[in-house]
Amino acid sequence: MVPAVKGPGRGWLLRLVIAFAFAQGAVSMARPAVSYRALSLGADERAVGVIAGVYALLPLFAAVPLGRRTDHGRCAPLLPVGVVLISGGCALSGTAVSLTAMAAWSGVMGLGHLCFVIGAQSIVARQSGPAEQDRNFGYFTIGASLGQLGGPVAAGFLVSAQDGAMARTSALALVVSAAVAAVSVTSIWRIEHRTSGPAARNQQAKVPVHRILRTRGVPAGIFISLAVLSATDVLTAYLPVIGEQRGIAPATIGLLLSLRAAATIACRLVMTPMIRLLGRTALMTVTCLLGGLLCAGLALPVPVRALAVMLAVLGFCLGVGQPLSMTTVVQAAPAGARSTALALRLTGNRLGQVAAPASAGLVAGVAGTAAPFVMLGALLLAAAGSGARQARDPAGGGVRRIPATGPRRTPVKDSPVAQACPQPSRESFPDRE
């Protein structure tokens, strides 16, 4: 195994968090703005769900090839490519005059977000030691939470439904989000250390995808990540629809979405002590269970204050799944396929982002706009069950064990047997929970 290379200090991580905050802020601002613009162009609940699903369609097919490329090359070039695609998708969504065009440019936006996230996650995995990954992935995802905090607020204040102005104001919000994404370029130069680039990359043969997916810990990490992101994504897309039906102003909806993001930030700031208290797998299981119950509770016609409390607790619970599933997948994956494993995790995320909004649109069309939240609750409960099964697995936590082939003997020190069969070091296997 090639040891993770550490750069001097953590300045690269801070700059990566800042860049991710602007990129995610642009996307979080654009997603509700796309929903409002689609509504202004005559879309119904089903059309909103389809447009939200197309956002993840192109990334669904591009994730694994990009991960393969990153495993055997540099990560940083994906970041500016992602920024260009995000900015272009946002701006062109604002100028689109048909639902088909909006769906297409939404897909371009999603592809840009995928490029940025694969590159950024691979940099964190490559430049963090095993003992630093939970912490660094937690800090990295704070950037996403900061973007999710500011983006919906900005979209809510820019979008106005008064006097038929929603078409114009939602387009303005999308153009502004394109400018916000462009700002992230200022923080991504020379963010990848030379020693973690091509000169230090693993030169092993490509690990087959099916082998990665059969590695203990990887399937559970992918499914938990899929469930958590699907809940966040559908919540962002459908809370504006709920607000329209319940008479909640767009600005208030933006504040509610940002409250959820603020709670997610708070969760990630206290991630390390929570892991020490419960362990990674138990923490993911408990938060998915509570999050599922709260998601289902959003279907109830509760007052705005109660909705705010529920979203705050839900945001705290949803803050756990993403960073810890990253660590679980990275530590479980073969050494030469970590970026590919992260890409498979993102493929699962995008599969959820395609299926969940489309399913939510169908469910909403049949049973009303509150029904998708019940669906999300069931998905999170299934993720909690997956985490519980992983906890019962003796290799739970995503760590591979070497099967015993006979009685274990301790070789005599400095003997020919000891020299021929050295014991594996602790660095060969990540610490178990």
The whole-number pLDDT of residue 372 equals: 80
Check residue 397 and give left, alpha or beta (phi > 0: left; psi -120 to 50: alpha).
left
Phi–psi pair at 39, nearest 5 degrees: -60, -40
30 burial level (CB within 10 Å; 0-12, 13-18, 19+): buried
- Percent of the chain residues topping a pLDDT of 90: 13
The whole-number pLDDT of residue 205 equals: 60
The whole-number pLDDT of residue 392 equals: 61
The whole-number pLDDT of residue 290 equals: 92
The whole-number pLDDT of residue 393 equals: 56
Residue partners of 83: CB distance under 8 A and separation at least 6? 23, 112, 116, 181, 182, 184, 185, 188
Of residues 212 and 433, more confidence is placed in 212
Rounded to an integer, the average pLDDT of 127-144 is 81
The whole-number pLDDT of residue 20 equals: 92
C-alpha to C-alpha distance for 298 and 303, rounded to whole angstroms:
11
> 334-383, pLDDT tens digit by residue?
777 778 888 888 888 778 767 776 777 777 777 777 778 888 888 899 88
Of residues 20 and 149, more confidence is placed in 20
C-alpha to C-alpha distance for 131 and 430, rounded to whole angstroms:
8
C-alpha to C-alpha distance for 402 and 151, rounded to whole angstroms:
46
Query: Is-contact 369 245, C-beta < 8 A?
Result: yes
The whole-number pLDDT of residue 289 equals: 92
The whole-number pLDDT of residue 204 equals: 54
Rounded to an integer, the average pLDDT of 71-86 is 85
The whole-number pLDDT of residue 407 equals: 42
- How does the average pLDDT of the chain come out, rounded? 78
C-alpha to C-alpha distance for 152 and 166, rounded to whole angstroms:
16
Max avg pLDDT among 149-163, 183-197, 241-255, 294-308: 294-308
C-alpha to C-alpha distance for 369 and 389, rounded to whole angstroms:
32
> 155-205, pLDDT tens digit by residue?
878 886 655 678 888 889 999 999 999 998 888 877 777 554 443 444 456
3-state secondary structure (DSSP) of residue 10 = coil
Query: Is-contact 254 160, C-beta < 8 A?
Result: no
Does position 314 have pLDDT exceeding 80, yes or no? yes
The whole-number pLDDT of residue 421 equals: 44
> 220-229, pLDDT tens digit by residue?
888 888 888 8
Q: Which DSSP string corresponds to 279-330?
A: -HHHHHHHHHHHHHHHHHHTTS---HHHHHHHHHHHHHHHHHHHHHHHHHHH
Three-class DSSP labels, 58-123: HHHHHHHHHHHHHHCCCCCCHHHHHHHHHHHHHHHHHHCCCHHHHHHHHHHHHHHHHHHHHHHHHH
Work out the angle at residue 320's Cα, subtended by the Cα atoms of residues 344 and 69, and round it to the nearest 5 degrees.
25
Does position 315 have pLDDT exceeding 70, yes or no? yes
Chain position carrying tokens 């969760």: 267
User: Rounded to whole angstroms, what are the CA distances from 149 to 69, 252, 291, 371?
Assistant: 32, 13, 19, 25
The whole-number pLDDT of residue 164 equals: 65
> 398-427, pLDDT tens digit by residue?
344 333 334 444 444 444 444 444 444 433
User: Rounded to whole angstroms, what are the CA distances from 361 to 45, 234, 328, 369, 390?
Assistant: 6, 10, 32, 8, 32
Chain position carrying tokens 């082939």: 405
C-alpha to C-alpha distance for 307 and 291, rounded to whole angstroms:
14
CB atoms within 10 A of CB 195: 12
Sign of CA dihedral 124, 126, 132, 134: positive
The whole-number pLDDT of residue 200 equals: 43
Query: Is-contact 373 357, C-beta < 8 A?
Result: no
- Percent of the chain residues topping a pLDDT of 70: 83
C-alpha to C-alpha distance for 120 and 363, rounded to whole angstroms:
35
